[in-house]
Structures are given as structure tokens and as C-alpha cells.
Amino acid sequence: MATARAPRLGAIFLTICIDLLGFGLVLPFLAEVARDTFGVSAFIGTLLAPAYSLMQFLFVPVWGSLSDRIGRKPVLTWSIGATAVANAALCIALAYGQSVLWLFAARIFAGIATANLGTASAYIADVTPPKDRAKGMGLIGMAFGIGFILGPGFGGVLAQIPMNHRHGPWALAAAAALSVVNLVWVMAGLGESLPKEVREARGVGPRRLPMDFAATARVLHDGKIARAVAANFLLILFFSGMEQTLRFFNKDAFAMALGETGGLLAFVGVTAAVVQGLLVRRLSGRVEDSSMLRWGLVLQSIAFGGLAASPTIGRWFLYASAMVLAVGNGLSQPAVSAFVSKCADPSAQGSTLGVAQSMSSLARVFGPALAGALYGSALGVRSPFAFGCVGAAAALLLALPLRDPVLVPQSTSTQMS
């Protein structure tokens, strides 16, 4: 039986928000500070982001699998506490460090600490009935949207306040403080969501590698899960590349100022958050998750094509395409998590969703590099978006055969609402 204390999804929502805020806060300044303060090249500075995403790729399934064995709350508690330490360490490294290696060490540790999205997704899956699963997963999408909107904005403002004559540390200090608040909330008010009788075998054996390849192979052996994960990988590969090259595209094709680009990205984030928080919640239980996933992919393929065509048509078409992209992404992201959770064994929700989120992190490692290479190639500035159109269409082909599984209702002893 789960603990008597009722779970509070607000704490899970805050956990994901803070993870995304910690990532978004540093976007406006970290690479630049690495170059200007620590004397490395711009390329080395940009590697701080893939280092973070790579650690998430490696450790999301580890924490997810561990949560299947010992419960969600212990893993989330450790992760949130470690996130506070990681943000504080990066704050100190930025303010007083003498080598860029300290920045990499702090970002690597932060990536390990914040690799809790699979566990958070599993918590939501534990406490929501299957017909409402996409509604619960929409919380994750809303948290992503809020982190994407607020993180860079607050980071840019706080980075202007110097610490030890350096810019950026106060943004990380604020992120560490928020993590401490979240830690107190989780420790005091979050109940365990996974009943003891449905956990995997007790004890945690030693891992030879941080990535559990056997668990990954086991999860992806299911054809439905493998198709959904592969479709999502393709989509995030090109979506993350869009995020990194959109500023270049706006400047080169439309002569847009930095503030205008920030406004456009905020518009995308707000639209995606509204779709996931309102539209998906209304559709959940009425429309199959696999159907929402397909429609999301259709819209995003159209939107990527629209972005590629916007320099010819006009700036208004850029904004229209960005809105369609946000709506499509708002539909597809909670839908794919809900679909995978429905296909997963109830006793392996954490490891299954951990593998899915790990593959998403891997896409975020390679996506920006691929988009940057395309953008600077002879194919031209439209090429990342043209390839995104093709990639989303390929993801749609993978998702076409998917249908939601027919599930037997869980007993009240293993499900909480």
C-alpha cells in the first residue's frame, strides 16, 4: 500500500519547473561567460549545454529504474537536493573559479542531478488513471513551457548583477534557493506513489555502467514503445535544433533584434503551455493518446515547412508557423509520455519512462549540433527547418500504426487520484 499521505502533483510540477529553470537561466550568458571570463573559444563554451544533456541521457533511466525498486519519493528527494548543490556549485565556479573545468564539472553534476524526469513522469503515471494519463502528463508540458519562458528572461536580468565582478552567479544562486524550497515541500508534503507490493525485487545491484543497456533493450523490445520513442526522438532532434538556430535565422533572414527573438520564443512557450494545460486536459479520456501524437506530428511537420518558407512569404508567416509548431508540440509531448506509460508494465513505469526521457535527452545532445552544421552549410539558412519538416513527417510514419492499448482498470490499492 502507498503511504497514507496524499501525493501532491504541485510538488512534482515545481520539481520539473525548477529543473527547466536551472537549464534556461544559464542560456543567455553561460557560453559567453566561459569565453570572456575563462578565455576559451566560443565552441568550447557551447559544449557546456551538450555536457548537461548527455548526463541526462545516461542517468534518466538509472533513476527511473531505481525508483521502481525503492520508490519515487526517495529518488526525487535525492535529486532535488543534489540539484540545489549543483546550482550552488556552478554559482561558486562562475564567481570564483579559475578554470573552465570547474564549469564543466558543475554542469555535468547538474545533468546527473536533474535527470529525474522519468521518475517524475512515473509518479504522475502512478497516481492518474489511464484514461486521464495525458492530462497528468500535460503538467510536464506546462512545466517545460514555464521553464522555457521564465528561465532565459530571469537569467538575463539576474546575470547583470555582478558577484566578484563577474556576471551570472546570482542567477544560479536563485535557482539553488528555489531547489531548497522544493526540497522542503517534497520532504514535508509528498506521499509515496508506488505501493510496496508492486515494486521490483528489493535491493539495488551495482551498475557497471551508468546507462542500463539491458533495461533499454528490454523496454524497446516492445514494438509500440519503440515506435513511439523513435518518433519522439526524431521530433526532438529537430525541435532542439530549431531552438538553437532560430536566433540566427531571425537575425539573418528578418533582421530581428534580440528582444524580438526572445518575444517569439516566449510566444512559442506560452502557446505550448496553454495547449498542454488546457486543451490536452479537455481531450484526455476523449481522444486516444496515439491520435493526439499523430495530429501533433502533422502540425509540426507543416510548421517546420512554414518556418523554412517564411523568408519568402513574410514575417507574419514566421509567427503563424511558430504558433502551429507550439500547438503541435503541445499535443505530442504529453501524448507520447501517456502512450508509453500505458504500454509499460505497471511495475516498470519508472524504467520505461526513464528510457523514453533518456532518448529525448540524447536527441537534445545531437540536435543543436546537427542544426548548426546544416545552418552553416551550403544548403542555406532554411535547411534546419526544411530537414525538420522531413524529420517530423518521418516521425509521423512511425506513429501511424500506433493505437492505444486496451487496459484493465487498476484497483484502488495501486492507484491514487
Q: What is the pLDDT of residue 230?
A: 92
Number of residues assigned to the chain = 417
pLDDT (tens digit, 9 = 90+) per residue, 318-356?
Answer: 999 999 998 998 888 888 888 888 887 776 766 777 778
Q: Please state the rounded mean pLDDT for residues 93-106.
A: 91
Q: Would you say residue 46 has pLDDT above 70? A: no
Q: Would you say residue 250 has pLDDT above 60? A: yes
Q: What are phi and psi of 166, to 5 degrees?
A: -125, 150
Q: What is the pLDDT of residue 414?
A: 41
Closest CA to 238 of 48, 23, 395: 395
User: What is 215-405's CATH topology?
Assistant: Growth Hormone; Chain: A; (1.20.1250)
What share of the chain has pLDDT > 70, as a percent?
80
Q: Would you say residue 148 has pLDDT above 80? A: no
Q: What is the pLDDT of residue 92?
A: 94
pLDDT band of residue 304 (cuts 50, 70, 90) is: very high
Q: What is the pLDDT of residue 205?
A: 46
Q: What is the pLDDT of residue 274?
A: 79
pLDDT band of residue 212 (cuts 50, 70, 90) is: low
The residues spanned by each domain of the chain are 1-194, 215-405
Task: Please determine whether the domains at 1-194 and 215-405 fall in the same fold group of CATH.
Answer: yes
DSSP string, 174-192: HHHHHHHHHHHHHHHHPPP
Q: Please state the rounded mean pLDDT for residues 109-132.
A: 81
Q: Please state the rounded mean pLDDT for residues 46-74.
A: 82
Q: Please report, as a single letter, which amino acid is at residue 294.
A: R
- The SS3 of residue 287 is strand
- The three-point CA angle 95-96-102 to 5° equals 95
Alpha-helical regions (H) of 97-222: 100-113, 117-127, 133-158, 169-189, 213-220
Q: Would you say residue 390 has pLDDT above 80? A: yes
Q: Please report, as a single letter, which amino acid is at residue 196.
A: K
pLDDT band of residue 294 (cuts 50, 70, 90) is: very high
How far CA 283 is from CA of 140, 222, 344, in Å, comes to: 16, 26, 22
- Alpha-carbon distance of 166 to 265, in angstroms, equals 27
Q: Would you say residue 105 has pLDDT above 90? A: yes
Q: Which are the contacts of 351, defined by CB distance < 8 A and separation ≥ 6?
A: 61, 64, 65, 68, 118, 212, 215, 219
Q: Please state the rounded mean pLDDT for residues 406-410.
A: 57
pLDDT band of residue 149 (cuts 50, 70, 90) is: low
Higher pLDDT, 187 or 308: 308
User: What is 1-194's CATH topology?
Assistant: Growth Hormone; Chain: A; (1.20.1250)
- Please report how the helices 315-343 and 117-127 are oriented relative to each other, as an axis angle in degrees rounded to 10: 60
Q: What is the pLDDT of residue 204?
A: 46
Closest CA to 68 of 183, 206, 201: 201
Cβ contact 293:231 at 8 Å: yes
Higher pLDDT, 396 or 42: 396
How far CA 34 is from CA of 26, 111, 280, in Å, comes to: 11, 18, 40
Higher pLDDT, 312 or 51: 312
- The SS3 of residue 163 is strand
- Alpha-carbon distance of 84 to 181, in angstroms, equals 10
Taking all residues of the chain, what is their mean pLDDT, rounded to a whole number? 79
